[in-house]
A and B are shown apart, each in its own frame.
Chain A
Amino acid sequence: MTPSQSTHIPGFVTREVGEGGFLHVRPEERRKTSHLKLTWIADLGPHNARRCLIPACLMRGTRAYPSQRLLNRRTEQLWGLSGTTSIDRWGQRHLVSLVAEFPDEGHLPGGETVFDEAIDFVDQLIHEPHLVDGYFSKDYVDSEILQHRRSIEGRIDNKSGWAYQRCLEEACFDEPWRYHQLGTIEDLDGVEPASLTALWKELKSHQPLHVHFSGNMPSGRVFESLQKLFRDNCATKDSLAGVQGIRAAAEPRQVTEFAKVQQANLVMSYRTMISNDHPLYEPLMVANGILGGFPHSRLFTQVREKESLCYSIHSQVDSNIGMMFITAGVDHDSVGKATDGISEQIDFVRGGEFSEEEYLMTLSALDSRLRMVQDSPAALADYDLRTRLSGKSPGLEDLRKRVAAVTRDDVVAALELVHPDVTFLLAPEEDS
């Protein structure tokens, strides 16, 4: 397949700030707001939970606006600047992010301005938090520990997400990506203002920081203004642990747990042995698309539509950890049929029996998805960061070409490396 023409949407221009700072700036004239994202990179591990407290405490107040109420009043004055934090994971890394979105000045009435004030505000959030005697306020720390404990306890509210994490923990019990990004309640024990303040200083000074900006503002001015966000940062190439290798599947096994749910949540994990730099990386993307990435995929058309076994079903690949997952919400009585149906579809694709149309539709859908990324500054920033962390070139156009060049034989070769690992089932309790 030949991909449709390249898009000429400006990508990020990157400047390194020291060894571990990266400032990525791109002009964006199509939208009405600027998008700024700061992401600190750390290693996943047993102390994820206490790291999660840092952005939470930063959002409680600054030196100039020492309470959350005053902070929120300030964001409202800044034309509804949306300041949010997020905690995520990517492979073996823990991502701590702060995102600010605010109007481009050309859209404000009466020649009002907001850019400089918005950047100052973000700078204050990360460098000048509200401190009491040099430490985060004890009230705020205690309150955030309590809230975070509740967030961890609340993970069960999302049943499919819970089942996915349990499957990951079972399959990867000694690999670094088994740690949930929110961490554990035990890790919150003993956290005090002094230790958390030290952790904040360590994060901003010793962990790599990526800053992505998209907006309608001259890039020279943006580079100059955003430089200050990196002050204190002296991260080095040794700030992160070396890349963990991926491993082959062990003997397949099944784990079943029970909860008060109406529907069973099934997660089937597979080891792919295909890492980010493997030549079959793109073929595995296509294989996943044929199998379960789209509404035209085999799992949707055969297991859902033909067999009526479930409403939600899809597959996803994570080449950072060399795994593929198939998730489905099914009636407990139909779990056996669903797992058989899923395995049949994998064999079908692995056997090269998929139609030419399914293959071409998948190439086309993947290409379209990659082009669509370019309409969203948030998606572009995510794509840029994650491909860099995966050790790959962030060029979208190159990836489009590599995907378009994947052959049917490549798809079969990729799936030949895929072997079942742990199958996890979260089943309704009354059936136990």
Chain B
Amino acid sequence: MSWSADSTTLENGTLRERVVERVHSSGARVAFCHKTGYLRTYACFATNFGSIDDRYRIGGGSEVVLPDGVAHFLEHKMFEGVNEDAFQEFSRLGASANAFTGFNGTSYLFSCTDRFYECLDHLVRFVQEPHFTAENVEKEKGIIGQEIRMYEDMPGWRVYFNLLEGMYQSHPVSKDIAGTEETISGITAPLLDRCWEAFYHPSNMILFAVGDQSEDEFFDHADRLLSEKDLGPAPDIEKITTAENLDVAKSRVEQSMQVGRSKLLFGWKDVHPGLNGPDLVRKELVTDLVLECVFGQSGALFEKLQEANLVDDSFGGGYMIYGDVGHSAIGGDVVDPEKVVEVIKSELPGVLSQGIAEEDIDRQRRAATGQLLKSFNSLENIAGSYCSSRFMGADPFEVVDLLSKIEPSEVVDRLQEHVQPERLVSSVITPA
């Protein structure tokens, strides 16, 4: 095997970063970012299969419905080898390894200071050699059950997923990534095998490395490695999305937990089927500018809330976009969540009629440029940003140039479109 197309180079003058990418004949997208002088090299092998991928069909066949938490369960079980846990070999090589499952992807990763290519071999091989048995799947349910309980005791996690439960009527983004003890009870070894065959084909995956390695050597090595195993033609997978309209499921969700302070998150959801690539990046960026200008700590609204001792430095927010849906989440630790929401609701009409000053947008542009520069210090952020952008069909560097191109009118229009007081959803955790 070899490369099925010439390499593509993505470059950005402001960041002074360069990513070279190629598509391997196995179907895998392979990319490399050179970072001079870093002792650490970071690599990930990521599949575009996350917690929101809960229904699919292959080759026009019948629909397969997956239990909540299966992508995360699969991630746990991939580390189980025939003879030993995959962590053991990483430890022998002196590397630090991990994995995480998100809404739209699952990433297996390591970082090391030596023996990079041996680690890379191990990464790709263990992800391409599943070993699911009835016994080891049952055993994992106990461990994941404890993980789920740990999340149930984390108020920051609960307030976020309760917000999504309020926003979405049926979209799987509102489901906890790990599922529940009940949903994972139905997971079996054959089910994991089917998911692996469907979603872990190289054509659905990215192999990315960032560090002070030779670019040519990396691609030569990756070519040999990905050619070791012929996983056949790419399955003809159709992910089935769950339609969602703009109506919210519940405008308010409240849970009682043993917490010292109440926690509040509020926000709005977007539904945008068909939006892809650069349009998604643009929407995310413009919305983040809106949220920072309106709810950020340099804004009048924050000042008003702070002067009334209703919020503290934990107050803030952001926008998250996942394919056909997206949502804002704003809030923090508060004493009187009802009062905060009341003030927000009473202030929003004024904010909407006033719009956003051009000067505020320009200042946020400068701040965002600085934050982007900072984020490209981190090997983990570079890899995460590359993979998530590519899974959305976007260019990871696009955001930098977009920052200077966005017109103030676009930010103001987006404010009117997204921030609609009557559609506000809030989530509150109160002390038990």
Interface residues, chain A, CB within 8 Å of chain B? 4, 7, 9, 29-33, 59, 67-69, 72-73, 75-82, 101-103, 107, 109, 139, 143, 146-147, 150, 152-157, 159, 259-263, 294-296, 300-301, 304-305, 308-312, 329-331, 357, 360-361, 364-365, 367-369, 371-372, 374-375
Contacts and interface: CB of A to CB of B under 8 A. Distances in A.
Contacts of A329: 146, 149-150
B155 A107 contact: no
18 contacts: A59-B313, A68-B297, A72-B296, A72-B298, A75-B367, A76-B364, A77-B363, A103-B373, A109-B369, A146-B309, A154-B260, A157-B259, A261-B258, A296-B87, A296-B88, A310-B146, A331-B149, A364-B94
Contacts of B260: 150, 152-157
A305 B144 CA distance: 11
A361 B92 contact: yes
Contacts of A67: 303
A32 B303 contact: no
Contact of A33 (B113, B307, B363, B377): B377
B18 interface: no
A75 B292 CA distance: 14
B363 to A, nearest CB: 4
Contact of B303 (A33, A68, A107): A68
B370 A30 contact: no
Given A32-B16, A143-B309, 19 more contacts: A4-B113, A7-B39, A30-B37, A33-B377, A72-B298, A76-B367, A78-B370, A82-B374, A103-B369, A157-B155, A295-B90, A295-B91, A296-B87, A296-B88, A304-B143, A312-B146, A329-B146, A357-B92, A365-B96
Interface of B: 14-16, 35-40, 85, 87-88, 90-97, 111-114, 139-140, 142-147, 149-150, 152-153, 155-156, 257-261, 263, 296-300, 302-303, 306-307, 309, 312-313, 333, 335, 363-364, 366-371, 373-374, 376-377, 379, 432
B259 A156 contact: yes
A304 to B, nearest CB: 7
Contacts of A79: 366-367, 369-370, 373
B406 to A, nearest CB: 16
Nearest to B156: A157
A262 B149 contact: yes
Given A150-B261, A311-B150, A365-B91, A33 B373 contact: yes
A330 B146 contact: yes
Contacts of B147: 311-312
A345 to B, nearest CB: 16
A260 B85 contact: no
Interface centre among A78, A157, A259 (most CB of B within 10 A): A157
Contacts of A374: 39
Contacts of B258: 156, 259-261
Nearest to B146: A311
A125 B16 CA distance: 32
Contacts of A59: 313
A184 B145 CA distance: 35
Contact of B152 (A139, A262, A309): A262
A311 to B, nearest CB: 4
A153 B261 contact: yes
B94 A69 contact: no
B303 A367 contact: no
A30 B36 contact: yes
A33 B38 contact: no
Contact of B302 (A31, A69, A300, A301): A69
B149 A154 contact: no
Given A4-B114, A154-B333, A263-B149, A76 B312 contact: no
